[in-house]
Amino acid sequence: MSLPHAILTALLEKPSSGLELTRRFDRSIGYFWSATHQQIYRELGKLEADGHIRALPTEQPARGQKKSYEVLPAGRAELARWTAASQDPRPHRDTLLLRLRASAVVGTEGIEADLRRHLDLHRRQLAEYEEIEKRDFPPGRDQPEDRLRHLVLRAGIELETFWTRWLTDALEEFGELPDSGPA
């Protein structure tokens, strides 16, 4: 049950409309908590009903459709409560590792191309993160909030680095495997 809290965080960082939130989920928050616009609108409705957020009063109420939301004190309190509460890590689910294990049994036919594709995706993601790091965390800035956000970004960078390296190793392993394994 974290989507509402992801949204509260995003709205505290900056009040936004549904679509703006969607975009920010695509670029930033979504790197570790992805959501579609449908999910977001649904959740905005619930959060408003619960009195955690409210639509910003707009000057021309009827003209443009764009509704921006801001967090109310109750919402901030709920987010603080949730952040501090102890939570168990959610179970991992990784299809690629599963497929690799399956391929030890049914043969490696066909999986190699997809490993390459994933390697490429992870490389791109890594490049994107490094771009963000360069832009948002130049050496020297160290306000506490920056340090926390940087820490989060570094987790992303290091995870992508790991996958990139691991996939490279895996592909090397494939090069040495007798053709198409058991099956």
Partner DNA sequence: CTCGTTTGTGCAACTAGTTGCACAAACCCG
Partner DNA sequence: CGGGTTTGTGCAACTAGTTGCACAAACGAG
State the residues that interact with DNA by CB under 7 A: 1-3, 17-20, 22, 34-39, 41-42, 44-45, 63-67, 90-91, 93
Applying CB under 8 A, which part among 39-47, 60-68, 99-107, 133-141 lies near a second copy?
Answer: 99-107
Taking the CA atoms of 57, 55, 6 and 50 in sequence, report the sign of the dihedral they define: positive
Give me the DSSP letters along 128-183.
Answer: HHHHHHHHH--TT---HHHHHHHHHHHHHHHHHHHHHHHHHHHHHHHHHSPTT---
Q: Please report how close the Cβ of residue 61 comes to a second copy at its closest, in angstroms.
A: 29
- Please list the residues that pair with 16 across neighbouring strands: 69
Window 22 to 51, contacts with a second copy (CB under 8 A): 29-34
Q: Please report how close the Cβ of residue 56 comes to a second copy at its closest, in angstroms.
A: 18
Pairing of strands 16-17, 53-55: unpaired
H/E stretch holding 69? strand 68-71
Query: Who contacts 126 (Cβ-Cβ below 8 Å, separation ≥6)?
Result: 157, 160, 161, 164
What is the C-alpha separation between 68 and 131, in angstroms, rounded? 29
Window 139 to 168, contacts with a second copy (CB under 8 A): 144-145, 147-149, 151-152, 154-156, 158-159, 162, 166
Q: Which of 58, 54, 46, 57 is CA-nearest to residue 70?
A: 54
37 binding partner (options DNA, a second copy, none; Cβ < 5 to 8 Å by kind): DNA
Q: Which is nearer to DNA, 13 or 112 (CB)?
A: 13
Count of other CB atoms within 10 angstroms of residue 126: 19
- Contact with a second copy (CB under 8 A): which of 50, 51, 114, 124? 114
Q: Which is nearer to DNA, 25 or 163 (CB)?
A: 25
66 binding partner (options a second copy, DNA, none; Cβ < 5 to 8 Å by kind): DNA
41 binding partner (options DNA, a second copy, none; Cβ < 5 to 8 Å by kind): DNA
Q: Please report how close the Cβ of residue 60 comes to a second copy at its closest, in angstroms.
A: 30
